[in-house]
């Protein structure tokens, strides 16, 4: 293996947003992103599993096309100076690729995702990459990576490259010996940090918002529900705070009807999910709890209603992730970090929309009585919120390089937000596969001697920011087959598990009602 001095390997200093992620991960507070997909052999008469060798070669191709995959952090500890991004002298593919056995994945895909999200990447290990592919026996592929390498759309781009590489090499005979260590090309080029690609100067609106938020009296902030306080100390060992994941899926026909609803009401899928999440949470924070039925004096059972302990709260504070790729002129498939956010504050109101296990009758209809005007307003706010989202990144300059102190200052405190919603969009149809294994536009007649081609059916997206982040997260992605998948995530202790489970169930119920075929 080559021996090169660290100084010669440094590509560029880490940017403001990158340093935010570096410090969070180093403190053990979580900074990972996950994009997963269900791979399918699209022109094979029999179901088959991904082979280790072919997947190994496809990952090597992805490293070649996405230089960020061959990068690690230099000078991660703030006290020794600002961190930089440097070229890896070699990538240990055994550390970056793992194939699970049936026994290891016996608890199911959702459980494997939960286990993956607590991964802590150690950038001090020279050849260990800051990403990992996990392949399940049923061809679910999980791609997990350090947030410093890229945002959610980045994961989509890398997995699409893997699919394309698998198909380019399909059937090619080779006697190449596959090495454990892959040597990246000598000269790696990364895009400059986001603040150098687009104007992130602080606007007056952003400045005053930050000042007002800082000066708000505690009694005002206490009216906002944000789940449980942040842990009082960094978890030991790092990364041992479990992440809960619940997957809410809408099949293709239902997702298509939801999109039609969005367009007819001049809004978007993102805004509909946002409002549905607010309604589901508001319901849980206002409705009396119903305990199990108990016997009455007459011998009949009756429901026992308890006052909701969360009824003291008046506001839900949330933010929606905003991609700055269009402002920075960065293609959607490039591995790069561009995420900012748009903030929302909503008043908690008792809704009469029907939810599962309602304590009282709810005569209203989801489709007829859904607050479409609110969804339309949020959609318009997001469309014109780009400049505000950019200037929010400019506030990071005020940290004066003390990013670890910023995160440490959140320990033991009230969380900043109730909810976070991120929608990475839809997987490119170029790598899709139909459920019957037929590509769009292809004939059903197959030559059995044809080389196996790979496509993707379902896609999933999740994040780990469970220690200091919002109480719950709603992560959205559109699948190649038209399915819509929402991963609701929360950290152990960030919110009561029973409430979070009910929230995921309420969100599922609302989206199913809005997308149902019935009037």
> What is d(CA 43, CA 175) in angstroms, rounded to the nearest whole number?
25
Residue closest to 76 by CA, chosen among 8, 148, 160: 148
CB 476 within 8 A of CB 511: no
- Six-digit token pair at 375? 């969804």
Residues with Cβ within 8 Å of 247's Cβ and at least 6 positions away in sequence, in order, are: 110, 460, 485, 486, 487, 488
Give me the pLDDT at residue 208, please.
65
Give me the pLDDT at residue 231, please.
92
Residues with Cβ within 8 Å of 359's Cβ and at least 6 positions away in sequence, in order, are: 287, 288, 289, 290, 303, 305
Beta partners for residue 495, in sequence order: 492
Give me the pLDDT at residue 292, please.
40
Average pLDDT over every residue of 16-21: 95
pLDDT at 14 over 90: yes
- Six-digit token pair at 333? 């498939």
- Six-digit token pair at 456? 């993707």
Give me the pLDDT at residue 433, please.
41
> What is d(CA 203, CA 225) in angstroms, rounded to the nearest whole number?
28
Provide, rounded to the nearest whole percent, the portion of the chain with pLDDT above 70: 81
pLDDT in tens, 23-35: 998 888 888 999 9
Q: Give the number of other CB atoms < 10 A from CB of residue 154.
A: 29
pLDDT at 381 over 70: yes
Q: Give the number of other CB atoms < 10 A from CB of residue 242.
A: 15
All domains of the chain in start order, with CATH:
8-172+191-295+303-514 (3.30.559.30)
For residue 302, give Cα distances in angstroms to 13, 306, 309: 65, 13, 21
Give me the pLDDT at residue 350, please.
76
Q: Lowest-confidence range among 6-10, 165-169, 222-226, 484-488?
A: 6-10
Residue closest to 491 by CA, chosen among 461, 468, 460: 468
Average pLDDT over every residue of 163-186: 78
pLDDT band at 289 (very low <50, low <70, confident <90, very high): low
Sign of torsion over alpha carbons 428, 107, 147, 209:
positive
pTM of this prediction exceeds 0.85: yes
Burial of 301 (0-12, 13-18, 19+ CB in 10 A): exposed
In 3-state terms the chain splits into helix, strand, coil percentages (rounded to 5) of 35, 20, 45
Give me the pLDDT at residue 47, please.
77
Provide, rounded to the nearest whole percent, the portion of the chain with pLDDT above 90: 60
User: Over the Cα atoms of the chain, what is R_g?
Assistant: 24
> What is d(CA 113, CA 147) in angstroms, rounded to the nearest whole number?
16
For residue 122, give Cα distances in angstroms to 28, 74, 129, 266, 386: 10, 11, 8, 46, 34
Give me the pLDDT at residue 15, please.
96
Give me the pLDDT at residue 284, please.
92
Beta partners for residue 74, in sequence order: 84
Beta partners for residue 463, in sequence order: 33
pLDDT band at 442 (very low <50, low <70, confident <90, very high): very low
pLDDT in tens, 211-252: 666 655 555 678 999 999 999 988 776 657 899 999 999 999
Mapped onto helix, strand or coil, the DSSP state of residue 45 is coil
CB 87 within 8 A of CB 11: yes
Question: Running DSSP on this structure, what letter comes out for residue 423?
Answer: E
CB 381 within 8 A of CB 374: no
pLDDT at 518 over 50: yes
CB 429 within 8 A of CB 422: no
Rounded to whole angstroms, the maximal C-alpha distance in the chain is 85
Give me the pLDDT at residue 295, please.
45
> What is d(CA 495, CA 475) in angstroms, rounded to the nearest whole number?
17
Question: Running DSSP on this structure, what letter comes out for residue 28?
Answer: T
> What is d(CA 307, CA 228) in angstroms, rounded to the nearest whole number?
19
> What is d(CA 482, CA 512) in angstroms, rounded to the nearest whole number?
15
Give me the pLDDT at residue 212, please.
60
Give me the pLDDT at residue 76, please.
82
pLDDT in tens, 75-129: 888 767 789 999 999 999 999 999 999 999 999 999 999 999 988 888 778 899 9
Question: Running DSSP on this structure, what letter comes out for residue 313?
Answer: -
Q: Lowest-confidence range among 131-135, 272-276, 426-430?
A: 426-430
């Amino acid at each position: 293996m080559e021996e090169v001095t660290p100084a010669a390997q440094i590509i560029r200093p880490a940017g403001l947003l990158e340093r935010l992620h570096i410090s969070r991960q180093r403190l053990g507070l979580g900074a990972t992103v996950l994009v997963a997909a269900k791979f399918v052999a699209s022109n094979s008469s029999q179901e088959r599993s991904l082979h280790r060798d072919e997947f190994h070669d496809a990952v090597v191709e992805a490293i070649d096309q996405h230089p960020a995959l061959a990068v690690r952090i230099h000078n991660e500890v703030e006290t020794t100076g600002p961190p930089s991004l440097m070229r890896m002298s070699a990538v240990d593919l055994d550390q970056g690729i793992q194939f699970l056995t049936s026994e290891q994945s016996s608890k199911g895909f959702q459980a494997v995702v939960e286990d993956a999200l607590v991964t802590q990447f150690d950038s001090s290990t020279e050849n260990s990459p800051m990403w990992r592919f996990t392949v399940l026996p049923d061809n679910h592929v999980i791609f997990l990576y350090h947030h410093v390498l890229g945002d959610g759309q980045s994961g989509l781009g890398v997995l699409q490259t893997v699919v394309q590489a698998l198909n380019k090499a399909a059937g090619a005979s080779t006697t190449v010996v596959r090495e454990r260590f892959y040597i990246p090309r000598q000269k790696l080029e990364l895009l400059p940090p986001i603040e150098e690609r687009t104007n992130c100067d602080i606007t007056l609106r952003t400045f005053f918002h930050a000042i007002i938020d800082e000066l708000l009296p505690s009694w005002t902030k206490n009216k906002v529900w944000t789940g449980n306080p942040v842990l009082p100390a960094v978890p030991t060992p790092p990364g041992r705070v479990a992440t809960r994941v619940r997957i809410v899926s809408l099949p293709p026909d239902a997702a298509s009807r939801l999109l039609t609803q969005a367009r007819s009401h001049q809004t978007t899928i993102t805004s509909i999910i946002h409002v549905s999440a607010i309604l589901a949470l508001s319901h849980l924070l206002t409705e009396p709890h119903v305990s199990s039925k108990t016997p009455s004096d007459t011998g009949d059972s009756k429901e026992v209603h308890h006052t909701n302990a969360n009824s003291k709260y008046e506001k839900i504070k949330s933010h929606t992730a905003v991609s700055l790729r269009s402002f920075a002129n960065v293609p959607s498939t490039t591995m790069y970090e561009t995420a900012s956010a748009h903030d929302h504050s909503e008043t908690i109101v008792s809704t009469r929309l029907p939810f599962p296990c309602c304590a009282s009758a709810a005569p209203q209809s989801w489709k007829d009585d859904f607050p479409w005007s609110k969804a339309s307003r949020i959609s318009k706010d997001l469309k014109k919120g780009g400049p505000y989202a950019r200037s929010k990144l400019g506030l990071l300059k005020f940290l004066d390089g003390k990013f670890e102190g910023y995160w440490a200052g959140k320990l033991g405190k009230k969380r900043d937000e109730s909810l976070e919603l991120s929608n990475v969009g839809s997987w490119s149809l170029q790598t899709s596969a139909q459920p019957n294994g037929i590509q769009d536009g292809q004939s059903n007649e197959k030559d059995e001697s044809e080389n196996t081609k790979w496509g993707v059916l379902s896609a999933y997206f999740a994040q780990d920011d469970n220690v200091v982040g919002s109480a719950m997260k709603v992560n959205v992605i559109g699948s190649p087959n038209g399915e819509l998948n929402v991963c609701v995530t929360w950290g152990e202790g960030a919110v009561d598990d029973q409430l979070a489970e009910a929230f995921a169930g309420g969100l599922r119920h609302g989206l199913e009602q809005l997308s149902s075929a019935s009037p």
